Amino acid sequence: MQLTLDSFPNAPKNWSLDTAKETAGADGIQLNEDHWDLIRALQEYYHKVEFPHLRQIKDALEEKFHSRGGMKYLYQIMPGGPIAEGCRLAGLNVPAGAIDQSFGSVA
């Protein structure tokens, strides 16, 4: 499947595929279709919910990716935290509580 900006209808205005690829590369991640699905899911969720909360995002991702293994699976493809790292790649604000400065990414 050829990815275009049209594949991400809920992307923030200042977001681009190239920016996501550059950020992922700097983090040592080679983006594949599963990563793009996560990015798309986060952008869609943020588009629907005015003030997203960590727990709600986690529950939504668990439900959406349940058939692939849920959050456990997402941590395998995004070891830096599927919400914290996923939001960064998706051009979204990381929700409060997703990163613990003394521990690192927790979500």
Q: What percent of the chain has pLDDT over 90?
A: 77
Q: pLDDT for 37-71, tens place per residue?
A: 999 999 999 999 988 999 999 999 999 999 999 99
For residue 6 the two structure tokens come to 């049209």
Q: What mean pLDDT do residues 6-22 have? A: 95
Q: What is the pLDDT of residue 35?
A: 97
CA distance 32 to 39: 11
pTM, to two decimals: 0.89
Nearest alpha-carbon partner for 70 in 46, 38, 44? 38
**Burial class of residue 72, CB neighbours in 10 A (0-12, 13-18, 19+):** exposed
